[in-house]
């Protein structure tokens, strides 16, 4: 079965993650979804497949993207993610100039234009113009893909979603869904929000969480742990500015602390981006070390190296977030979606173990299905 109406999304920040997401919308065709599909947690949710999602509005501040059709902008520099679906048709959706605010770290001007933003010469749109664009495009959901540390920009786009009547998905570590004041405003408006800070399909944080939970369930005392990450995309370049990292470190650290048997002292846990290695491009390499005590207080340690393409690793999760958000809109559910936020995000308002969060999300999907109007599949 396929839902009668598709899902219309708007994107704030047409970077690597947006590129992977949009490639995926065209990669997972109806034909591919009808087979033993690889790479999706759910082939369909509530009758919606990835190919039922369309981009209707997009905002960025880079001169190489603003004014371009989204189909071309997603492959423009400084984007460097893996191209797995090069055949993207013209969408008829032009990337518009957003607001810069704190979306660009000052230190990134010191790098060549292959690795950093080239600020567009176009005038920034006002808040009223962005809200009008969201309304005119009839966007159901606004996705926030601002860089780490963009506190003002993230809150600005959340405000735009509220005024435009859109659901909101916060993929980055500015605390909006987990801010009680913001959460209350989305509840009052009857608009769903999922956040904060996306948890990749099989990335550093989810792997670290699973291992930490395993220690707790198997009776191993976790004494010390670290997670060190390196990458070569603009996200890692942006994070060389330590002042922009506070919320990111909190988000990643709390995601692991939440599943530990007992909370670890700050000096015994270190989680965060470590360095920018240009030639890695969108390849993220993670190093995890865990030290603990087994039966009889006998010491043990575990070391793991994980290598993934960072942006495709998040795209499938976002596709599920979009579909859950759409179900909430169709069912009149506003405010923070507790299960999807806990399952898909590092810093939800309430943390649960991943198996509990998974069951909460599945129950949310099951409970929403009766309200869908569906028709026979194409």
Q: What confidence tens digit (pLDDT) does each residue in 52-61 have?
A: 999 999 999 9
Model confidence pLDDT, tens digit, residues 300-331: 999 999 999 999 999 999 999 999 999 999 99
Model confidence pLDDT, tens digit, residues 325-378: 999 999 999 999 999 999 999 999 999 999 999 999 999 999 996 544 443 344
* H or E element in which residue 11 lies: strand 7-12
pLDDT band at 104 (very low <50, low <70, confident <90, very high): confident
Kindly state the average pLDDT of the residues 245-262: 90
Measured between alpha carbons, how far is 212 from 206 in angstroms, rounded to an integer? 10
- Please count the other Cβ atoms lying within 10 Å of the Cβ belonging to residue 195: 34
pLDDT band at 241 (very low <50, low <70, confident <90, very high): confident
Cβ pair 57, 134 in contact under 8 A = yes
With a pLDDT cut of 70, the percent of the chain lying above it is: 96
Kindly state the average pLDDT of the residues 235-252: 85
Measured between alpha carbons, how far is 31 from 364 in angstroms, rounded to an integer? 27
pLDDT band at 93 (very low <50, low <70, confident <90, very high): very high
pLDDT band at 4 (very low <50, low <70, confident <90, very high): low
What confidence score (pLDDT) does residue 187 get?
A: 98
Query: 197-206 burial string, b = 16+ CB within 10 Å, else e?
Result: bbbbbebbbb
What confidence score (pLDDT) does residue 2 get?
A: 43
pLDDT band at 248 (very low <50, low <70, confident <90, very high): confident
Given a cut of 60, whether residue 156 has pLDDT beyond it is yes
Q: What is the pTM of this model?
A: 0.93
Model confidence pLDDT, tens digit, residues 108-152: 766 777 777 888 888 999 999 999 999 999 999 999 999 988 999
User: Beta strand 192-194 with 221-231: parallel, antiparallel or unpaired?
Assistant: unpaired
What confidence score (pLDDT) does residue 155 get?
A: 97
Residue 343 CB-half CA count within 13 A: 21
Extract the tokens encoding 290. 């865990």
What confidence score (pLDDT) does residue 19 get?
A: 98
- Helix ranges restricted to H, 137-272: 151-164, 180-189, 204-217, 234-238, 246-257
Given a cut of 70, whether residue 222 has pLDDT beyond it is yes
Model confidence pLDDT, tens digit, residues 164-217: 999 999 999 999 999 999 999 999 999 999 999 999 999 999 999 999 999 999
């Amino acid at each position: 079965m396929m839902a009668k109406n598709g899902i219309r999304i708007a994107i704030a920040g047409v970077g690597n993650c947006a590129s992977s997401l949009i490639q995926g919308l065209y990669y997972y065709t109806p034909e591919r979804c009808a087979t033993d599909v690889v790479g999706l947690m759910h082939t369909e949710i509530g009758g919606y497949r990835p190919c039922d999602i369309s981009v209707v509005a997009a905002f960025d501040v880079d001169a190489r993207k603003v004014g371009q059709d989204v189909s071309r902008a997603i492959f423009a520099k400084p984007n460097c993610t893996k191209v797995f679906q090069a055949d993207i048709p013209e969408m008829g959706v032009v990337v518009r100039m957003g607001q810069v605010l704190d979306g660009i770290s000052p230190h990134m001007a010191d790098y060549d234009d292959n690795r950093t933003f080239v600020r567009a010469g176009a005038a920034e749109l006002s808040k009223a113009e962005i809200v009008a664009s969201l309304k005119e495009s009839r966007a159901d959901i606004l996705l926030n893909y601002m860089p780490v540390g963009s506190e003002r920009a993230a809150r600005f786009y959340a405000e735009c979603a509220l005024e435009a009547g859109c659901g909101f998905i916060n993929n980055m570590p500015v605390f909006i869904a987990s801010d009680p004041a913001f959460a209350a405003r989305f509840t009052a408006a009857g608009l769903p929000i999922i956040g904060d800070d996306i948890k990749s399909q099989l990335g550093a944080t989810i792997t670290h969480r699973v291992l930490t939970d395993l220690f707790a369930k198997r009776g191993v005392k976790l004494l010390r742990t670290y997670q060190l990450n390196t990458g070569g995309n603009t996200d890692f370049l942006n994070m060389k500015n330590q002042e922009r990292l506070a919320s990111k470190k909190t988000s990643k650290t709390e995601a692991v602390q939440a599943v530990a048997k007992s909370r670890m002292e700050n000096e015994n846990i270190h989680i965060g981006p470590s360095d920018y290695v240009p030639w890695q491009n969108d390849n993220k390499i993670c190093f995890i070390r865990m030290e603990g005590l087994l039966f009889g207080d006998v010491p043990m340690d575990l070391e793991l190296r994980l290598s993934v393409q960072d942006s495709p690793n998040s795209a499938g999760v976002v596709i599920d977030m979009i579909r859950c958000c759409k179900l909430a809109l169709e069912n009149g559910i506003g405010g923070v979606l507790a299960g999807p936020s806990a399952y898909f995000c590092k810093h939800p308002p309430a943390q649960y173990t991943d198996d509990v969060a998974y069951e909460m999300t599945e129950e949310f999907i099951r409970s929403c299905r009766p309200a869908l109007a569906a028709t026979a599949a194409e």
